[in-house]
Amino acid sequence: MRDMAKELLKMTRDEVAEAVADFPVAILPLGATEQHGHHLPLGVDVYLAEGISRKLAQRTGALLLPSLPFGYSWVWRDIPGTVSLEQHRVEGVIKDVAKSVQRYGIQLLVLVNGHDANNASMKYAVRELQDELDLTVIHLFYPNLDNVMKTHCESPTWHGMVHACEFETSLMLALCPEMVDMKKAVREYPKKPLLYGKSTISLGDLSKSGVYGDATLATKYKGEAMITEFLNTMEACLLQAYKSS
Ligand SMILES: [Zn+2]
C-alpha cells in the first residue's frame, strides 16, 4: 500500500505527466450536496465518494481527480443547503472530465459514485463515451451493496434505499467521525404511498427527519468493515479494466 494518494489538485504539471506515464488511470469521485438528516452534514455523498476514492488511489497508484460536489438532487430541492444540477448536466460533466483527461494520456477513468441518483447519469455518459473516445470508463457504486449490507448492517433498508441510514452513517463514522452527531441520529421508516415511484411524490415528501432507515445502529466498526469489502472489489475491477484497456 502506498502512503499518499496522488491528488491532482496538489500536483504540478510535471508530477502529473510523470504519474500518467507511470500508471495512466484516474479516479473521479461523484457526490451531491443535499440533506442527510439532522445528524450528518450535506456533503455526505461527497465525503464518502472522496474518502473511498482516496483509499483506492492509495492502493493502486491511480491519479485522484477533484470530487464533483453536485449531483442531481431534485427531491430535496426545497431543503436549505441543497444544490442540484439538472440530470443531463451531470452526464455532461462526466463526459467533459473524460475528454479532458484522455488528452494527456489517461487510458482508464474510474467513476466512484456516492449518490444513487448519479447512477443513471454515469451509465449513459459511459455508453456515449464508448462511441466517442478511445478511453475505457468504468462506473462503481458501492459494489455488491445488498450483500455487504446484509452481512454488516442490522436494520433493513427503506425499500432498498440508502440515505442517512445505518449504512451511510456507519461509513461516515469510519471516514469522517468528527462530522457525525450520533446524539441526533434517529430511526425513521416512512409509509410508502401507492404513487411513490409513479408520480412526483419523492423522498423529499416522506421522511420528516430526512433519514430513511435506522441511523441509531451505525458504528465505526461496521463502516470500516464495509469499506474494506468495497475497496477489495473496486481494486479488482480497476485492475481488470486496466488490463483490458
Ligand atoms: Zn447519501
Residue 8 alpha carbon to ligand 1 centre in Å = 25
Domain contains 1:
no
Residue 238 alpha carbon to ligand 1 centre in Å = 23
Quick: pLDDT tens for 31-82. Answer: 999 999 999 999 999 999 999 999 999 999 999 999 999 999 999 999 999 9
Domain contains 186:
yes
Flag whether pLDDT at 144 surpasses 80. yes
Domain contains 34:
yes
Q: What is the arithmetic mean of pLDDT over 2-22?
A: 93
136 φ, ψ to 5°? -90, 130
Residue 142 alpha carbon to ligand 1 centre in Å = 12
155 C-beta neighbours (distance < 10 Å), count:
17
Flag whether pLDDT at 202 surpasses 90. no
* Burial class of residue 174 in the structure, from the number of CB atoms within 10 Å of its CB (0-12 exposed, 13-18 middle, 19+ buried): buried
What CATH number does residue 59 fall under?
3.40.50.10310
Q: Give the range of the structural domain holding residue 50, as residue numbers without chain letter.
A: 6-244
Q: Are 33 and 83 in contact (CB under 8 A)?
A: yes
Q: What is the arithmetic mean of pLDDT over 226-245?
A: 97
Q: What is the pLDDT of residue 1?
A: 46
Q: What is the arithmetic mean of pLDDT over 115-123?
A: 95
Give, as residue ranges, everything with CB less than 5 Å from ion ligand 1.
44-45
Q: What is the pLDDT of residue 2?
A: 52
Q: Which of 20-24, 164-168, 195-199, 228-232 has the lowest mean pLDDT?
A: 195-199
Quick: pLDDT tens for 120-129. Answer: 999 999 999 9
Residue 68: strand pairing partners: 30
Domains of the chain: total: 1
Residue 185 alpha carbon to ligand 1 centre in Å = 15
